[in-house]
Amino acid sequence: MSGAVGEAMIRSLMEEGNLKKIALLWTQGADIPWGSLHDCASARRIELPTYPFRTDRYWMTPGDTSEQAPLPPLTASAEPQSGPSGQRRATRSEIRRYITGFLGKALDIPEDQIQARASLEEYGVDSLTGRRLLRGLEETFAIVLTGREMLDNRCVEALTELVLMRKEACGNPGGNPGDYLQDFRKGLLGVEDMKRLISQGVIA
């Protein structure tokens, strides 16, 4: 987490005193100016315990059937074409076909029974399935989505429009970092979301 955007994120967290997110950034290699957290000279370092932490292990039993099904890839005919900037373009029908294909395979229901405007919860989409769908959309269409956006777009049609809008936005890198920082402060974007935005060039 480096550059002007990374420094702005850290400075914002320092001003808010958000120790949890600051600690998370530090564990991921960020350079934290720890002295800025203390406005007096009384702060001092303390030693960690010298005894080892517990090393409990939890193994899956042979009869465990909770293995996740693989995400359905785009078919060759639905492969988006590349635009002038090298960004892959996707049509509305391709995005909708990916979502219904995912739901059909993950929930074991015929794709033609999935209605575009029906709530995903009606088909049994839980938080785990929703998270897998979110990651699949991000990886397939090279975009960044948040859990909040998934909650606000709970049907195939709304989710398709969200992905299409985000895909078009990603085709124009250099977004306003201030807008993303505001969403980060509000909790709409997490640390991983910001890192993906930076790595994918959405934030210049």
pLDDT at 83: 42
The pLDDT assigned to 21 comes to 87
Q: What is the pLDDT of residue 159?
A: 93
Alpha carbons 127 and 45: distance in angstroms, whole number: 40
Cα gap 120→135, rounded to integer Å: 16
Tell me what pLDDT residue 176 has: 58
116 within 8 A of 157, measured Cβ to Cβ? yes
- The predicted structure's pLDDT at residue 78: 41
At residue 89, the pLDDT reads: 67
Q: What is the structure's pLDDT at 101? A: 93
Tens place of pLDDT per residue across the chain (204 aa): 567 777 888 888 888 888 888 888 888 888 888 877 776 666 677 777 676 666 666 565 555 555 555 545 544 334 444 443 444 567 889 999 999 999 999 999 999 999 999 999 888 898 889 989 999 998 888 888 888 888 889 899 999 998 888 877 655 444 556 666 776 776 666 677 677 667 666 665
DSSP string, the chain: --HHHHHHHHHHHHHHT-HHHHHHHHHTT----GGGG-SSTT----PPPSSPPP----PPPTT---PPPPPPPPPGGGPPPB-TTSPBP--HHHHHHHHHHHHHHHHT--GGG--TTSBGGGGT--HHHHHHHHHHHHHHHT----HHHHHH--BHHHHHHHHHHHHHHHTS--B-HHHHHHHHHHTSS-HHHHHHHHHTTSB-
- Residue 148 in contact with residue 188, Cβ under 8 Å? yes
Q: Domains plus CATH for the chain? A: 1-33+175-204 (no CATH), 76-172 (1.10.1200.10)
pLDDT for position 171: 54
Residue type present at position 135 = R
- pTM metric for this prediction: 0.47
Looking at residue 114, what is its pLDDT? 92
